[in-house]
Amino acid sequence: VLSFSSGMEKVVACSYKRPNALCRLICFPWAGGGTAQLAQWGRLFSSSIEVYSVRLPGRETRFKEPFAKDMTTVVNEIASVLLEDLQEKPFAFFGHSFGSYISFAVALHLKEKYGLEPIHLFISGAHAPHSEAFLPIKRIHDVEDEDIIAHLKILGGTPSELLQNEDIRKHVILTFREDLRVLQTFSFEKADRNIPLSCDITCFDGSEDIEHDLEAWNDITSGDISIYKLPGGHFYLLEPSNEIFLTKHITRCIENSDL
């Protein structure tokens, strides 16, 4: 079995190693998030798909590292660590919310710099990056701690008993703020007639989440785009029934592309 390099071990969690998989699914976390939930998706996929979950600095085993300062730093690190793996066999990206923007930024970088592209981009709970609807996110600055905690409780991505612990709560708030700051350094200007990607894009959204501008993802690929609304709020993807739908649908999309 191929062992992970130290850089890889740091940046990627792979709980279910499948060296013979035909394709890798690289998952990108939401703001304030780590690798725990998405790395566990590995157990739901067949042996043809190996799941990587990306770990940003400042959390989990990278707790002692400073947070990334901007999107360029995040993208460069992920791309350089994963490059060999991505050149070796086909790959797809899945990102939720903040993770959707990272996954798109990494896809863009790989295409421009190495001519590499995911066979499929799976976007969840996110506006298209050049959409007007994305702009207010870039203006969020002075968020109160209470608002972040309230937000996290609504999102349900962080167990509330953890938030009772002062140190954990402080770190969760800090991580969320730092991720938001990275997001605010990301901008994508859609140039006329320039369609940056050619892969198919599937957009997932929670039916009770705020409306996301999903249609506009159409502008950034010459491939097909499909949209699915699943029951639930912003963290609809953590519901076991939705997890099953997502992993089955993602498997079907990947197995139907010409691997």
Q: Is residue 232 part of a domain?
A: yes
Q: Is residue 1 part of a domain?
A: no
Number of neighbours of residue 65 by Cβ within 10 angstroms:
12
Work out the burial of residue 239: count CB atoms within 10 Å of its CB; fewer than 13 is exposed, 13-18 middle, 19 or more buried: middle
Rg (CA), the chain: 17
Instruction: Write down the pLDDT at residue 173.
Output: 86
Buried b (16+ CB within 10 A) or exposed e, 108-119: bbbbeeeebbbb
Instruction: Write down the pLDDT at residue 1.
Output: 42
Work out the burial of residue 22: count CB atoms within 10 Å of its CB; fewer than 13 is exposed, 13-18 middle, 19 or more buried: middle
CATH assignment of the domain containing 106: 3.40.50.1820
Tokens encoding 207: 């039916």
Instruction: Write down the pLDDT at residue 154.
Output: 61
- Domain region containing 67: 6-188+195-256
Helical packing angle, 166-184 and 71-88, nearest 10°: 80
Q: Is residue 88 part of a domain?
A: yes
**What stretch of H or E contains 120?**
strand 120-124
Of the candidates 211, 228, 102, 208, the one whose C-alpha atom is nearest the C-alpha of residue 154 is: 208
Please, what is the end-to-end C-alpha distance for the chain in angstroms? 22
Q: Any idea what DSSP says for residue 69? A: -
Instruction: Write down the pLDDT at residue 193.
Output: 77
Instruction: Write down the pLDDT at residue 192.
Output: 76
**What stretch of H or E contains 52?**
strand 49-54
| Total count of domains within the chain | 1
Residue ranges of the chain with per-residue pLDDT less than 50: 1-2
pLDDT digits (tens, 9 = 90+) for 127-138: 999 998 888 776
Which residues are annotated as catalytic? 97, 234
Given a contact cutoff of 8 angstroms between Cβ atoms, the answer to whether 95 and 126 are in contact is yes
Q: What share of the chain is helix, strand, coil (3-state, %, to 5)?
A: 45, 15, 40
Q: Is residue 85 part of a domain?
A: yes
Instruction: Write down the pLDDT at residue 137.
Output: 74
